[in-house]
């Protein structure tokens, strides 16, 4: 069950997570196609935490979770790698999931205490050619990413305990509307 937007209510001890930590939890849950059962009181979230409410009703996050291709996600990178690291020592993880229409959902997860520049290469993602170009759609912002297209790799500076969540659409097949 998701604890997104609970902010310390219920049986969860403490004051809850930050908005960026809720964003990270919800995004990873989405790309893994996990059931989205909310623990927060959905009757009060909109009034008490409007930014978090906006997150949980983000249609693009839900569409990734429920993509009709129903293909599994995989972790394509982790630092430090297993078996050298215990779960508490992991700072970076990158997850990718093939979506319908030849698209790929991509999450760069920063589990560390400082912002990190993170990179996912086409080789890590299993793309056939490092020169293949992709349009980039920002799932969290629900609009084309500031970097409109990329080739060979996707890079982003990810704040502490946060994610960069994008969809890569091959330019050869993309349309003017690359939304989820």
Q: Report pLDDT digits (tens) over 15-44.
A: 789 999 999 999 999 999 999 888 888 899
| pLDDT tens readout for residues 41-57 | 889 999 999 999 999 99
pLDDT band at 1 (very low <50, low <70, confident <90, very high): confident
The CATH superfamily assigned to 74-170 is: Golgi alpha-mannosidase II (2.60.40.1180)
* Average pLDDT in the chain: 91
Q: Domain limits of the chain?
A: 74-170
Show the tokens assigned to 134.
């992709």
């Amino acid at each position: 069950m998701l604890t997104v937007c609970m902010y310390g209510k219920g049986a969860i001890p403490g004051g809850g997570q930050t908005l960026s930590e809720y964003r990270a939890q919800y995004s990873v849950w989405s790309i893994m196609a996990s059931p989205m059962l909310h623990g927060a009181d959905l009757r009060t979230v909109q009034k008490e935490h409007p930014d978090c409410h906006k997150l949980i009703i983000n249609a693009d996050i839900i569409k990734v979770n429920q993509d009709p291709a129903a293909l599994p996600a995989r972790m394509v990178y982790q630092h430090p790698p297993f078996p050298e690291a215990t779960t508490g020592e992991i700072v970076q993880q990158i997850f990718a999931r093939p979506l319908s229409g030849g698209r790929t959902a991509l999450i760069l997860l920063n589990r560390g205490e400082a912002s990190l520049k993170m990179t996912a290469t086409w080789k890590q993602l299993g793309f056939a050619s490092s020169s293949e170009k992709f349009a980039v759609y920002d799932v969290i912002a629900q609009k084309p990413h500031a970097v409109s297209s990329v080739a060979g790799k996707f890079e982003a500076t990810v704040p502490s305990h946060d994610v960069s969540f994008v969809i890569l659409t091959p330019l050869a097949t993309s349309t003017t509307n690359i939304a989820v």
